[in-house]
Amino acid sequence: MSVDDVDWGALREAARAVARRAYAPYSGFPVGAAAYSDDGRLLVGCNVENAAYGVTLCAECSLVSALVTGGGGRLVAFTCVNGAGDVITPCGRCRQLLWEHGGADLLVETPDGVVPMSAMLPQAFGPEDLKR
């Protein structure tokens, strides 16, 4: 898939819509994520905080859960926004999660433009590293 094949505006709007459903009473920082899978599904996720901060779920976790519970597949294009609707960059933990379910070629929208996941997480550790 190429950058031009993706309707980035629709993807951002889906992320903005789901960010409004985020449960962020502690940080006050709602996040929405949206992605297309390799079979064309639009997937969304939002952050879900918890009073025990360590068990908070990032929007990317919610999105990947939707991918897996919806039948699996691979992510091909991804974006994430804050509560103001601005595109933001996934944290390191979430980059690892996205790598697992999208790989090096996953297109990721960042504040500086769209880049492949390989640029977001160079020299990534993945399932192939666990082969014996």
Active site residues: 60
Nearest to 118, CA basis, from 129, 108, 130, 131? 108
- With a CB cutoff of 8 Å and minimum separation 6, the contacts of 2 are none
Residues 13 and 3: beta-carbon distance below 8 Å: no
DSSP, res 48: B
State the CB neighbour count (10 A cutoff) for residue 21.
14
Say which amino acid occupies 56. Answer: T
Supply 128's token pair: 């192939």
